[in-house]
Amino acid sequence: LCFPRLKCSPSAWHNKYPVAHGSRQSPIDIVPHQASRDPNLSQIVLNYDRCTSINISNNGHSVVVEFDDTDDRSVIQGGPLDNPYRLKQFHFHWGEKGCEGSEHTVSGNSYASELHLVHWNAVKYKTFDEAATAPDGLAVLGIFLDTGDDHRWLHTITDALYMVKFKGSITDFKDFNPKCLLPSSLHYWTYLGSLTTPPLHESVIWIVLKDPITVSEKQLGKFRMLLFTGEEEDQRLRMENNFRPPQPLKGRKVRSSN
């Protein structure tokens, strides 16, 4: 069970969130040659130019960069989406060593980390919270992180991490455009899924890019310096392995852009 002292592991989430055993849970293992190439799937279009990042914070589960989502300046559209979805935040999942850390896997293989850009359907719903409980409410763009050379723009994020070491810490983070975190190709897989953390709502249209971006072990190591615990707690728990393992596909189809 989940006691405040102990971290509640993914395998215990079903006690409080029975949807954990639902029919469209995320993440999943993506098997490329079992994905169906859908010619009707257009390319995805990201309009992040007039991006408005606000702050960066440690919510005790990940590090999150939040955006002003009061208008349609930063949206994702096209692909499987029927209308534009507004960028609200992005965050990361990672492991304790290089060989695991991503949430989605590809033919059983993990990446070192996974970036999630979270968008909501502001055409059909009035607030993020309302959208977060609707079957077509959210669109999350997943980007794999591989280890290798330094990522030339990630340092703007890793340089700020010392400011949000403790759970509950937050600091200004203006004028960051996540476009600099995209890989060269926007080819993707897409399927219907859920939030990968409690409350695990089955409200996400997942768009997972096929190509990873490359970051260095040194840059990734800075994420592992973050803490799950607050400044006032005596126990210091390093923030790592904040990823949920793949969940049953339960008959779902994964589609592939060309």
Ligand X SMILES: NS(=O)(=O)c1ccc(O)c(NC(=O)NCCc2ccccn2)c1
Query: Is 93 in contact with 62 (CB distance < 8 Å)?
Result: yes
Window 86 to 125, contacts with ligand X (CB under 6 A): 116, 118
Instruction: Select 52 or 242, whichever has its Cβ closest to Zn ion.
Output: 242
Window 12 to 71, contacts with ligand X (CB under 6 A): 59, 61
Q: How far is the CB of 62 from Zn ion (least distance, A)?
A: 7
Stretch that binds ligand X, among 16-24, 41-49, 166-174, 191-199 (CB under 6 A): 191-199
CA 178 to chain centroid: 13
Alpha helices by DSSP H, listed for the chain, are: 13-16, 128-131, 155-158, 217-223
Q: How far is the CB of 170 from ligand X (least distance, A)?
A: 14
Residue 187, binding choice from Zn ion, ligand X, none, Cβ under 5 to 8 Å by partner class? none
Q: What is the widest separation between alpha-carbon atoms in the chain?
A: 56
Residues with Cβ within 8 Å of residue 39, at least 6 apart in sequence: 258
Instruction: Report the C-alpha gap between 108 and 245 in whole angstroms.
Output: 11
Instruction: Report the C-alpha gap between 216 and 111 in whole angstroms.
Output: 13
Among 197, 219, 247, 256, binds ligand X (CB under 6 A): 197
Compute CA distances 75 → 101, 127, 196, whole Å.
27, 15, 22
Q: How far is the CB of 40 from ligand X (least distance, A)?
A: 26
Instruction: Select 116 or 201, whichever has its Cβ closest to Zn ion.
Output: 116
Counting contacts by CB under 6 A, is residue 219 touching ligand X?
no
Residue 198, binding choice from ligand X, Zn ion, none, Cβ under 5 to 8 Å by partner class? ligand X
Binding site for ligand X (CB under 6 A): 59, 61, 116, 118, 140, 195-198
